[in-house]
Structures are given as structure tokens and as C-alpha cells.
Structure 1
Amino acid sequence: MQPVSHDEKNWTVAKAKAKLSEVIERAQSTPQTITRNGKPSVVVVSAEEWQRKVARKGTLAEFLLASPLRGAELDLDRQGDEPRDLSL
């Protein structure tokens, strides 16, 4: 088994288990990818990075007000059709 080089960011599950402290330490500065069967499975990131990724960026109202469709004069009238019969 080859040792993980200092700048490597990819770990097999076995290497990550054996060197979990190192994976965590490196994740403080750079996301670390753990592969399973040769395919990326998970990414370990610092708690600080995770908070940046999941932080809410404004309110729903702000999002809707910033929509490119705002003021597009869309026809949003409801149809006057009768409701569907859902009885079986």
C-alpha cells in the first residue's frame, strides 16, 4: 500500500479508517474525498466549510423578488373547470 502524499485529497475507505485523524486534520483546509470501490463516496469538510455551504442566503421573499420573471406579465388566472371526480 502506498502512503498518502501530503497534497493528496482522495482516500480509500481502508486508508481513511486507518488515518482518520489525518483525514480530519486535512479536511480543515481542503475537502477530502473518500472512495469506495474506486468511486467517490463521501467528502469530508470542516464544520466551518459545511456551515458556509448550508447557510441560508436570504429569505424566500427576497428570492422571489429577485426572480427574472418578476414583472413578466404572466397570465396566472385560474381556470374555471369543474374539479375532477376522484371517487373510485
Structure 2
Amino acid sequence: MQSTWQLQEAKNQFSKVVDLAVTVGPQIVTRHGEPVAVILSVAQYRKLTVPRQSLVDFLRSSPLVGAQIDLRRTEVDERWPVALDFQ
């Protein structure tokens, strides 16, 4: 199925373009060979525009809230020295 449409062709067959967006997937519209618009189904649009949860809210809703996890760093420096030899 076609997924890229020239603007004039998309205008002339708009109903078909919308039907394909719903049944097949996003339809790209071009003007002078350059992509300028995308027609997609409402379901796909909603997936893209779902409000994202902030990191703080995500952590607050974690099943580990209230768990006694020790997140303190140790006093020991466990990093290994790296020799940078650029010869």
C-alpha cells in the first residue's frame, strides 16, 4: 500500500489517505518532493501525546516505596586506574 503522497494527489484522494492511515499506518504527504505532513490515526496520535510521568512521580509510584534500601556510597574508591597511552 502507498504511504507517501504528493500533496495534490492526497487532496484528491483524501478519504483513501485517511482510510490507509487508520488501517495501514501513517501516510506521508510531500510538496515538491519534500515531506511536509503526516496523516495518522487518532489511536496513533494518542500514543504519541500521552502525558509523560515525571521521574519524581514515577519513583513515588514504585513498588519499592517504603523499602529499606541503603543507597549510601561506600568510603572505598573502587574505580580502577586507566592508563592513557597515546603513542
TM-score bracket for this pair, using the shorter chain length: 0.5 to 0.7
Aligned pairs for 1:22-61 within 5 A: 22-29=16-23, 30-59=25-54, 61=56
Deviation at 1:60, TM superposition (A): 5.3
Deviation at 1:8, TM superposition (A): 1.2
TM-score of the two chains, using structure 2 as the length reference = 0.61
Aligned length: 60
Instruction: Identify unmatched segments of 5+ residues in structure 2.
Output: 60-70, 72-87
Instruction: Identify unmatched segments of 5+ residues in structure 1.
Output: 1-6, 66-70, 72-88
2: CA distance, partners of 1:50 / 1:60: 23
Deviation at 1:17, TM superposition (A): 0.6
Kindly report the root-mean-square deviation, in angstroms, between the aligned alpha carbons of the 2 structures: 1.9
TM-score of the two chains, using structure 1 as the length reference = 0.60
What does the per-residue CA deviation read over 1:16-69, in whole Å, with 9 as the maximum and x for residues that have no partner? 010000000000031000000101000000011101101012135236x5xxxx
Identity over aligned pairs, percent:
29
